[in-house]
Amino acid sequence: MWNAVETVGLTKVYRVYASPWSRLAEVVSRRPRHRAFPALQDVTFSLPRGEGLALIGENGAGKSTLLKILAGITAQTSGSLEVRGKVASILELGSGFHPEFTGRQNIVLNAAMLGLSPEELQRKSPEIIEFSELGDFIDQPVKVYSTGMAMRLGFSIATQVDPEVLIIDEALSVGDGYFQKKCMDRLRIFVESGGTLLFCSHAMYYVSAFCQRALWLRNGRAEALGPVNDVVREYENFLVAKSERAAAEPGHAPAAAAHLPARIVSARLVEGRQDLLYTQGEPWELEVEWETPDPRLAFHLGVGINRSDGIEVCSFASHLDGMPPMTGERSYTARLAIPSLPLVKGEFTLYIFLLDEEGLHIYDQRIVQRAFTVQSPRYSFGLVQVDHSWSLDVRSGSSVKRSA
């Protein structure tokens, strides 16, 4: 399989001036009056056709700079790249739009930039307009659009023109929950149809759903590159350690929760375990309650158990277990039961995800640090108890078997 994207040693250095006068003085005096800022440094990777690559990292890590270079919006300072196939991108909100043109006129403009023929444009325009759900605003100038409306138009154009390579920055994060879900469904179809995706997001669940590999950028450099689950785990461990350091600082306060179309009301362990202390082999049961103002929404539930040091132990998802989506109500209660807890010892964190009917979009999530503890009556090695048996062959030819 050939590579859709290849980069070798990509580097981007910006010139930062203290003021516009410093820029003018540099031109006149021919002496440097700027500070060099390396936004991207020696980034090398390849992306096979039909796969997804997630770009992850903190704000200012160089993700957007890399995507702009790949989309052809800006040029690298050094290094080389090659992108094969028709490329569509959703980067900065409003990029590629003429603010004085209407949404309909911008569809024509962007279609021409993407190389669509007049016949293709005539065929695709109704689909783009329908997907965007902009209504009468499609004939209004883009300069009056909100950020969410601009995102709707940009995503509709980029995904309806049948690109071979799709580049998406954090633009989707500004949309409302309904349209975000609609976008995620469209991305799933694009990936399943063999499209090549470069996807930048702070939502690790989406990253893991759409991409096979991940590139973690830190201070403009590639900190890690490899299978998405491995890189995401390494990045999340980094964020957890950073959050713990920040939480220990004076004056730290948690951020307020945003308005959600559905929300988790409670998550608790049942079976009367007030001390949250278990031993291996005991029954374990989690009860999750959630509510929504819209009974038409459908839900699945996902649960993950991690050791307190971030080691992933196991996960459960109702859609992966063949359960139909839960719908038709405004409040729900679901229980996840483990008849015999296989964990041997340790403190464990619960990750609870309220998902849509495809098990893809996250309506709400709850992280319960140190949710429960498992203790062993004797000193034990390892994390889980595994059913097993021993077989001993003696010289006489007979055998002895013991099960444990």
Full set of structural domains in the chain with CATH:
3-243 (3.40.50.300), 263-375 (2.60.40.770)
- pLDDT for residue 13: 92
State both tokens at 271. Answer: 């079976």
Cβ–Cβ under 8 Å, residues 172 and 147: no
User: How many Å apart are CA 172 and CA 160, to the nearest integer?
Assistant: 16
Question: Quick one: CA dihedral 340, 342, 343, 348, positive or negative?
Answer: negative
So what's the pLDDT on residue 255? 45
**Please, are residues 283 and 340 in contact by the beta-carbon 8 Å criterion?**
yes
Distance CA 23, CA 33 (A): 7
Are 210 and 191 in contact by the 8 Å Cβ rule? The answer is: yes
Report which residue type is found at 33: R
Q: Which one-letter amino acid corresponds to residue 396?
A: S
Residue 187 to residue 173: CA distance in whole angstroms:
14
Q: What is the DSSP letter of 102?
A: B
Closest C-alpha to 79, from 49, 37, 40: 40
The reported pLDDT for the residue numbered 175 is 60
Evaluate whether 235 touches 224 at the Cβ level (below 8 Å): yes
**Alpha helices, DSSP H only, in 92-139?**
103-113, 118-132
Burial (CB < 10 A; 0-12, 13-18, 19+), residue 153, is buried
Block means of pLDDT (10 residues each) for the chain, 404 residues, are 89 86 82 85 93 90 91 90 88 73 90 81 90 90 86 85 86 68 84 90 80 92 91 82 67 52 89 75 92 92 89 90 92 94 91 88 86 82 84 67 56
| pLDDT for position 288 | 94
Cα dihedral angle (72, 76, 80, 85), rounded to 10 degrees?
-10
Distance CA 276, CA 266 (A): 16
Tokens of 336: 């996840």
CA dist., res. 326 & res. 323, Å (int)? 9
